[in-house]
């Protein structure tokens, strides 16, 4: 495997903390840095993928965007771990609800992640279709959510290679083993956890449900901001435990 001596997609020698919170959208990374971190500094902006390091309640934290889809997310997760010695990653993002248990605006923590993608096989020959997220990190997040009085669902998600609303997701869902109680669908969590597991660090995913096959509700901009802020706070509070 050719890796090289320097990162290709993150600025060389960037000041990266051991604990990282990762949204997909670079502008959401900027929003988090400006509104939740003290002394935040832009540490990388290669290819427009923004990363900031600052302090949350006195603890050094990095917020680093990872882009859309498993290939993009995997690049940044790998480089953070391999070149910058990151130890804990919490991905935060939006998702679609595919289970009546999920309501619009709910926060969901991934316990396990299913995919029908060949991503893991291509990466390192892994032939399974399910990966687990960090049990220790999940325990911290569940406890933190309880302390903050934030409703948090905990269960299985599915990561796809396509954007769910743009395809016939029912055909995809019909192929998923019926024994899997899938709550949500999104596009990055499997890769984040598989890379992290393969490199022996802790990682998990917290999501906000923004659309659902069981609801016609559309979050107002104010409600969307509130729900996403709750997710951001839960992620940051959990990282500093």
Query: Looking at residue 214, what DSSP letter applies?
Result: T
**Three-state SS annotation for 124-136:** HCCCCCEEECCHH
Please state, in angstroms and rounded to a whole number, the distance separating the CA atoms of residues 227 and 230. Answer: 5
> Cβ distance 208 to 94 under 8 Å?
yes
Asked about 25 being catalytic, the answer comes back as no
Where do we find the tokens 């003290």? Answer: 38
Place of tokens 């990151």: 86
Tell me 201's DSSP state.
-
Identify the active-site residue in 146, 181, 211, 223: 211
Rounded distance between C-alpha atoms, residue 80 and residue 75, angstroms: 9
- CA 205 – CA 198 distance, rounded (Å): 16
CA 215 to chain centre: 24
Active site residues: 211
């Amino acid at each position: 495997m050719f890796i090289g001596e320097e990162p290709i997609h993150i600025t060389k020698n960037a000041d990266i903390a051991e604990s990282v919170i990762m949204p997909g959208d670079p502008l959401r990374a900027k929003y988090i840095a400006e509104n939740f971190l003290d002394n935040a500094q832009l540490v990388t902006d290669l290819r427009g993928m923004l990363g900031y390091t600052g302090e949350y309640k006195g603890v050094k934290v990095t917020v680093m965007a990872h882009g859309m889809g498993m290939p993009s997310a995997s690049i940044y997760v790998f480089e953070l771990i391999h070149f910058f010695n990151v130890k804990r990653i919490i991905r935060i993002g939006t998702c679609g609800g595919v289970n009546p248990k999920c309501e619009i605006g709910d926060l969901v923590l991934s316990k396990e992640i299913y995919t029908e993608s060949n991503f893991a096989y291509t990466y390192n020959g892994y032939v399974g279709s399910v990966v687990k997220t960090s049990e220790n990190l999940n325990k911290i997040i569940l406890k933190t959510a309880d302390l903050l009085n934030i409703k948090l669902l905990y269960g299985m998600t599915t990561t796809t290679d396509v954007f769910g609303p743009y395809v016939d997701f029912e055909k995809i869902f019909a192929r998923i083993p019926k024994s899997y109680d899938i709550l949500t669908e999104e596009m990055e969590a499997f890769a984040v956890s598989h890379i992290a597991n393969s490199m022996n660090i802790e990682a998990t995913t917290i999501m906000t449900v923004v659309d659902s096959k069981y609801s016609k509700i559309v979050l107002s901009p104010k409600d969307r901001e509130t729900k996403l802020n709750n997710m951001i706070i839960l992620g940051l509070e959990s990282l500093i435990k």
